Amino acid sequence: MGTPNDLDPRLLRAFVAVAEELHFTRAAGRLFVAQQALSRDVRRLERDLGAELFVRTTRQVALTEDGERLVPYARRVLTAYDELAEAFRAEPRPLLVDLNSPGLGHERVLRRARELAPDLELMARYESGLTHAAREMIAGRLDVSFGRYGGLAPDLRAGLEAQFVRYEPMAVLLPEDDPLAALPEVPLDALAGRAVYAGAGNDRTPEWTDLAARLFAGHGVHVAAPAPLVVGMEEFRRVMAKAPTPVLAVVDFPAMPGSVKRPLVDPVPLSPVSLVWRKGLRHPGLDALRRAAAALAARHGWHERPPGSWLPADEMLGALTASPRSG
């Protein structure tokens, strides 16, 4: 590999996008550029470095050994460029905060952060799934999100940082006429033999579907077949109302007309929620979010596991916790 003294950051952004997507069309869409322009930038970077970075065939794109070696360096360079631009900005830019869906408990963290930093602009977004939000964060189109950090693919976690926020008890949404709707709580085994919707087929939320599959294993419960991909609470309500299928949710999930929400018990399943952001991000709004999350967790016991609870064995608190900055 060559060692040029100057590399255009645009070329590095093109390279990182293709390296993460392993697909030129998707990478071009992510960067809002034409595929021909993206291919041209990658070829120019390869020429400048004197190395082939990708193996291209009609069916797939793969990183070469030099490409694999370049990825961490390119990410660090792009982070430095972003930090440089931020350091000389007249005032902090708005921080884009993904809350996944309206009405979830993540909004409490955002509200508290806005109270802690009233002069900053913390803008809510609803990206519907941490995996999708992770791609958006790494691409620089989103700053912060919430969700099951341990359920992300390793290549996505490599570009992110996280702070554990809470153990969120899980629930099930049932049609009003479902026999289990009369119960104040639903034992997991009471769902044996049934299919429960958990986002199967939605490429935005595989971390949630994986959590459901782990929970259902050994209890005779099945992950329901994919439903049409919907974005937004109203569309979700409309589509779910067409089929009397239970839906896996969390206790803070907002009510839906025609359904009832019941906590799951025996065991009490927990969804581990973390605050997740792009690696290297520096912003006073992120500091406010981290302080808010830590304060709310301490006040409400969000880090305490209730008796008889269930959690994936490889996602214990210690592996996902980071101390909030004091800034």
Classify residue 51: in a domain, yes or no: yes
Query: At a CB cut-off of 8 Å and minimum separation 6, what does 92 contact?
Result: 86, 120, 121, 283, 284, 285
Residue 146 sits in the same domain as residue 288: yes
How far apart are the C-alpha atoms of 256 and 238, rounded to whole Å?
10
Residue 160 sits in the same domain as residue 180: no
pLDDT at 326: 37
pLDDT at 38: 92
Q: Which of 32, 54, 87 is the last residue of a domain?
A: 87
Residue 78 sits in the same domain as residue 139: no
Residue 286 sits in the same domain as residue 158: yes
Residue 128 sits in the same domain as residue 186: no
Residue 224 sits in the same domain as residue 245: yes
Residue 174 sits in the same domain as residue 161: no
Residue 113 sits in the same domain as residue 248: no
DSSP conformation class of 197: B
Classify residue 3: in a domain, yes or no: no
Classify residue 37: in a domain, yes or no: yes
Residue 126 sits in the same domain as residue 209: no
Each residue's pLDDT expressed in tens, for the chain with a length of 327 residues: 655 667 888 999 999 999 988 999 988 888 888 999 999 999 999 999 999 999 988 788 999 999 999 999 898 888 777 777 666 665 678 999 999 988 888 999 999 999 999 999 999 999 889 999 999 998 888 999 999 999 999 989 988 999 999 999 999 999 888 999 999 999 999 999 999 999 888 889 999 999 999 999 989 999 998 876 665 666 666 666 666 789 999 999 887 778 899 999 999 999 999 999 998 888 999 999 999 999 999 999 999 998 889 998 777 654 454 444 433
Kind plus residue range of the DSSP H or E element containing 270: strand 268-278
Q: Which of 52, 87, 122 is the last residue of a domain?
A: 87
CATH of the domain at 158: 3.40.190.10
Classify residue 59: in a domain, yes or no: yes
Residue 163 sits in the same domain as residue 303: yes
pLDDT at 107: 95
Residue 116 sits in the same domain as residue 251: no
Number of domains in the chain: 3
**Rg of the chain's alpha carbons, rounded to an integer?**
22
Domain that holds residue 193: 170-267
Residue 187 sits in the same domain as residue 256: yes
DSSP, residue by residue, 228-239: ----SHHHHHHH
Classify residue 44: in a domain, yes or no: yes
pTM score? 0.73
Classify residue 203: in a domain, yes or no: yes
User: Which two three-digit tokens encode residue 183?
Assistant: 């119960």
Task: Check: CB of residue 263 under 8 Å from CB of residue 163.
Answer: no
Classify residue 2: in a domain, yes or no: no
Q: Which of 267, 283, 307 is the last residue of a domain?
A: 267
User: Which two three-digit tokens encode residue 92?
Assistant: 């902090």
Classify residue 238: in a domain, yes or no: yes
CATH of the domain at 32: 1.10.10.10
How far apart are the C-alpha atoms of 3 and 323, rounded to whole Å?
38
For residue 16, give the nearest of 46, 42, 49, 36 by alpha carbon: 42
Q: Is 279 exposed, middle or buried (0-12, 13-18, 19+ CB in 10 A)?
A: middle
